[in-house]
Chain A
Amino acid sequence: MSQELDALYQEIILDHYKNPHHAGLREPFEAEVHHVNPTCGDEITLRVHVNDGVVDDVSYDALGCSISQASASVMTDLVIGRTVDDALSIHEEFLTLMQGKGSVEPDEDVLEDGIAFAGVAKFPARVKCALLSWMAWKDATARSLEASAR
């Protein structure tokens, strides 16, 4: 019984949940978005600062379950300091993992701590939790790029 739970709640996830990285809202930023999961009410406010094609900072204020909180923390670790293009391809990779219903083998070189979410993909009700911050980041990044293009 606890095996099944342990597949979902990997130690890495619980660690990020208890000690989230890059939490809080910071300046500067070009775009701020607010995303909610309408079924459970989980929320995130997220800011993106892009400088010269590089994700300089991602800051956030999130309310939600362990999966959604840990996912935001892992996501910031993965995208901050990367070029937007690299970060977007990591986003793609994470999305594929989450939508794979448990059949996708995660690549640790790309996803690092993100591989801990492989088990979440087997719990359809929780996939949205894991994707909330990633979707918010993609949206905010697109808006940052638009803002700087103007």
Chain B
Amino acid sequence: MIPGLLPELQVIRKDFPILERTLAGGQPLVYLDSANTSQKPQVVIDAMVDHLERHNANVARAMHQLGAESSEAFEAARDKVAAFLGAPERDEVIFTKNASEALNLVANTLAWAGPRQLREGDEIVITEMEHHSNIVPWQLVAQRSGATLRWFGLTDDGRLDLSRIDELITERTKVVSFTWVSNMLGTVNPVAELTRRAHAVGAIVVVDASQAAPQLPIDLAAMAPEERPDALVFTGHKVVGPTGIGVLWGSRALLEELPPFLGGGDMIETVAMERSTFAAIPHKFEAGTPPIVEAVGLGAAVDYLRSVGLDAVHEHERAITAYALEGLATVPGAKVLGPLDAAERGGAISFELAGVHPHDIAQVLDVRGVAVRAGHHCAKPAHARFGVQSSARMSSYLYTTPEEIDAFIEALHYTRSYFKVA
């Protein structure tokens, strides 16, 4: 057996009912698209069904027993997410629709009147390896506020090019926003170092943990204050939770300085026709009826991951990723984009196969039951940096087995022979 794999892998797989299904032609499912969205364990499905069957009511505004139960379940989910992140305070956890909305919340409210308002002459620093969700909101905000958008370039081996850090992070820098783990290159970025540098010039730091939260242990409270980001986002559906829910964690200091994002029910203290005053965090940023059952599902999801242990999940991902990288090295014409050392990367591997377009790779693999992603993975600038228009991407998770990687590699050999590039 490969060292580092989850010892109870077969038991874990049983937790995920979808892994038992077969596809057209009786093919077993080999799901290697978890960086896109993860599969859901039975406990998450059950928690959501149980909530809908037994406890459904609106939260915070229903004066009856079901309302109390529903509110309690919703707020318990916040506690679970706070524990998952090691958040210094549970009220710093804001539920959003997804990671994209969380990033838009921060970017937009930074452009509005308040102590942190971005102005002409200010600079926002991002990186060339961001998901479009961490590029476009900052472009829009730069246009609206007059601030300038700048970015870290990438080295040839797919890491952030930190050689120009002194030119990029300056006293003009007000926000530094970057992904912890790249969804395309798999690169793991130096959060502590970048955050320290940004804080030294008084900038706030926003971390996109959409790909980190599923596979790395996160403990915000344990970070040194100067190395702790001011905001961190992730999305529920990639951490074995449901779609329709994301998380913004923000330090109390930052969240109190930012103006409200959306206006509506539940985010107010009092409303008169002329003006309103706003609720304290977290409710200040949660206008309207929230995704209640999704929060319940997310709470069950992060508890599930914690019960398996994020260190063990991380080890498993590393072992599977190393095994997949070894396998890819045996496929003639296969070229991996991003770092080649599994110890320094996340579990998403983007690659090219000489002579076969990524779409065609994904199609042939799909016929063999192997689900991968093809395209630009919402990271067009990162693809452009490496002179490729698109790539294929395999991404594993805690339920991925070495046998599935074998099936994937064999399907790539078959793809080459099908397109006669052998």
With both chains docked as a complex, state the minimum distance between the C-beta of A150 and any C-beta of chain B, in angstroms: 33
Q: Which residue of A lies closest to B383 (CB)?
A: A41
Q: A41-B389, A64-B357, A65-B358 are in contact. Are A5 and B418 (CB under 8 A)?
A: yes
- Contact (Cβ within 8 A) A8 B390: no
Q: Which residues of B contact A129 (CB under 8 A)?
A: 359
Cβ of B389 and Cβ of A43 under 8 Å apart?
yes
Are A65 and B360 in touch, CB under 8 angstroms? yes
B133 at the interface (CB under 8 A from A): no
Bound state CA distance, A9 and B374, in angstroms?
17
CB distance from B74 to the nearest CB of A (A): 34
A63 touches B389 (CB 8 A): yes
Please state if B367 and A41 are interface contacts (CB–CB under 8 Å). no
Main secondary structure of the interface of B (DSSP, over half): helix
Chain A residues near B375 (CB-CB < 8 A):
39-41
Q: Give chain A nearest CB distance to B390 CB in angstroms.
A: 5
The answer to whether A66 and B367 have CB atoms under 8 Å apart is no
**Smallest CB–CB gap between B259 and chain A, Å?**
32
**Distance in Å: Cβ of A5 to nearest Cβ of chain B:** 5
Closest partner residue, chain A, to B373 (CB atom): A40
Does residue B56 face the partner (Cβ distance < 8 Å to A)?
Answer: no
CB A43 to nearest CB in B, in angstroms, measures: 7
Across the interface, name the chain A residue whose C-beta is closest to B391. A41
Q: Is residue A149 within 8 Å, beta carbon to beta carbon, of the partner chain? A: no
Which residues of chain A are near B159, meaning CB under 8 Å?
none
Q: Mark B379-422, 1 if CB is under 8 A from A, else 0.
A: 01001000001100000000000000000000000000011000
B364 near A5 (CB under 8 angstroms)?
A: yes
Give the bracket for the number of chain B residues in contact with chain A: 20 to 34
Chain A residues with Cβ under 8 A from B357's Cβ?
64-66, 69
Q: Does B390 contact A126, Cβ atoms closer than 8 Å?
A: no
- Knowing A39-B375, A41-B389, A41-B390, the reply to whether A67 touches B359 (Cβ < 8 A) is yes
Q: Is the CB of B359 within 8 A of A5?
A: no
By CB atoms of chain A within 10 A, which of B27, B359, B374, B375 has the most? B359
Query: Nearest Cβ distance between residue A1 and chain B, in whole angstroms?
Result: 6
- Chain B residues 253 to 295 lying within 8 A of chain A, measured CB to CB, are none
**Complex CA–CA separation, A128 to B359 (angstroms):** 12
The answer, yes or no, to whether B376 is at the interface (CB within 8 Å) is yes
B363 touches A123 (CB 8 A): yes
Of A9, A39, A40, A123, chain B has the most CB atoms within 10 Å of the CB of A40
B3 within 8 A of A: no
Contacting residue for A65 out of B359, B367, B368, B380, CB 8 A: B359
Nearest Cβ in chain B — how far from A134, in angstroms?
17
Q: What is the CB-to-nearest-CB distance from B136 to chain A, in angstroms, rounded to a whole number?
A: 13
Contact (Cβ within 8 A) B25 A40: no
Residues 113 to 150 of chain A near chain B (Cβ within 8 Å): 123, 126, 129
Q: How many angstroms from the CA of A69 to the CA of B389 in the assembled complex?
A: 14
Q: Mark B9-31, 1 if CB is under 8 A from A, else 0.
A: 00000000000000011010000
Q: How far apart sit A66 and B27, CA to CA, in the bound complex (Å)?
A: 25
Is B367 touching A1 in the complex (CB atoms < 8 A)? yes
Question: CA of A98 to CA of B72 in the docked complex: distance in angstroms?
Answer: 51
- A2 closest partner in B (C-beta): B418
Given contacts A41-B375, A65-B357, contact A5 B363 (CB under 8 A): yes
- 1/0 contact trace for A1-26 toward B, CB 8 Å? 11011001100001000000000000
In the complex, chain A residues whose CB is within 8 Å of the CB of B364:
5
Q: Which residues of A contact B27 (CB under 8 A)?
A: 1
Q: How far is the CA of A76 from the CA of B50 in the complex (A)?
A: 58
Cβ proximity bits A47-76 to B, threshold 8 Å, 1 near / 0 not: 000000000000000011111010000000
Q: How far is the CA of A40 from the CA of B380 in the complex (A)?
A: 10
Contact of A5 among B358, B367, B380, B389 (CB under 8 A): B367
What does the 1/0 interface line of A25-53 toward B look like (CB < 8 Å)?
00000000000000111110000000000
What is the distance, in angstroms, from A38's C-beta to the closest C-beta of chain B? 9
CB distance from A67 to the nearest CB of B (A): 7
Q: How many angstroms from the CA of A69 to the CA of B359 in the assembled complex?
A: 12
Interface residues of A (CB under 8 A from B): 1-2, 4-5, 8-9, 14, 39-43, 63-67, 69, 123, 126, 129
Q: Which residues of B are interface residues toward A (Cβ below 8 A)?
A: 24-25, 27, 357-360, 363-364, 367-368, 374-376, 380, 383, 389-390, 418-419
Would you list the 7 A-B pairs with minimal beta carbon distance, nearest first?
A65-B359, A40-B375, A65-B357, A41-B376, A41-B390, A63-B389, A66-B360
A-B contact pairs, 9 of them (CB 8 A): A1-B27, A2-B367, A8-B363, A9-B360, A40-B376, A42-B359, A66-B357, A66-B359, A67-B359
